[in-house]
Amino acid sequence: MMKKFKYGLMAIIFIAAVLGAWWIGMKSSMFKKYQEESATVMLNKIEKVVKLVAVEGNISEIYDYKDYYSFDLAPFRKKALVRVTAKVSAGFDFEKLVVTTDENSKTIVISNFPEAEILSIDHDLDYYDISQGTFNRFSTEDYNKINSRAKEFVAEKAKESELIQAAEEQKAEILDMITFLVQSAGWKIRIEEPVFLN
């Protein structure tokens, strides 16, 4: 009787151990983390551009975003502090340049030389303090809006900085280089200052 009880108890323990091991194995595979990634590359349009980057600058700023309904209380408020780092390129868009040639006098006339402008902004966002209320949560649209506003914020800061002025100062060197190349080819060059109408 004692032997039967002993064997029965051992059988129960063995079965419990097998079932436990099976359950742990199932649970770990059941809750295994899976990650899927896919990318679709779409090229819509290729355009020729003639732009000359004269200077580049790095901008790092903190962008503070806050949104709330009626009352600025925690349950109704969402806010984010975003570190924005950007590389800003300033220079000249030569598509605005007007170049005419006179074969008889071997003269090239350059007019409407563009003013320096921001050509590109390559920015990254680092969200490091995000809080949202019970009744006011962040959505994908909010993150897109923050991204867009951060880029506008960088553009505003770039225009206030010395970047445009530094690019504008490169204009004389660019014109000297163009003049040298044209004269080396045996041509004359005339540069007409643009007329800005008020």
User: Domain total for the chain?
Assistant: 1
By mean pLDDT, which of 109-118, 126-135, 168-177, 184-193 is the weakest?
126-135
151 Rama class: left (phi>0) / alpha (psi -120 to 50) / beta: alpha
166 assigned to some structural domain: yes
Residue 87 is predicted with a pLDDT of 92
Residue 195 is predicted with a pLDDT of 47
60 assigned to some structural domain: yes
pLDDT-above-70 percentage for the chain: 67
74 assigned to some structural domain: yes
27 assigned to some structural domain: no
Residue 33 has pLDDT above 70, yes or no: no
Report helix, strand or coil for 29: helix
Q: Which of 31-40, 62-71, 123-132, 161-170 shows the highest mean pLDDT?
A: 161-170
Residue 196 is predicted with a pLDDT of 46
- For 3-22, write each residue's pLDDT tens digit: 555 556 666 777 777 676 66
Kindly write down the DSSP assignment for every residue of 41-54, as one continuous string.
----------EEEE
114 assigned to some structural domain: yes
Q: What is the dihedral of CA 152, 157, 159, 162, to 10 degrees?
A: -160
Residue 57 has pLDDT above 70, yes or no: yes
125 assigned to some structural domain: yes
- For 118-162, write each residue's pLDDT tens digit: 989 898 888 877 776 666 677 788 888 888 888 888 888 888 888
Average pLDDT over residues 93-106: 85
Q: How confident is the model at residue 197 (pLDDT cuts 50, 70, 90)?
A: very low
Find the domain containing 147 and state its range: 49-191
34 assigned to some structural domain: no
Say if CB 55 and CB 91 are below 8 A apart: yes
19 assigned to some structural domain: no
57 vs 79, higher pLDDT? 57
What is this structure's pTM? 0.62
Q: Which of 33-37, 49-53, 56-60, 142-146 shows the highest mean pLDDT?
A: 56-60
Residue 151 is predicted with a pLDDT of 86
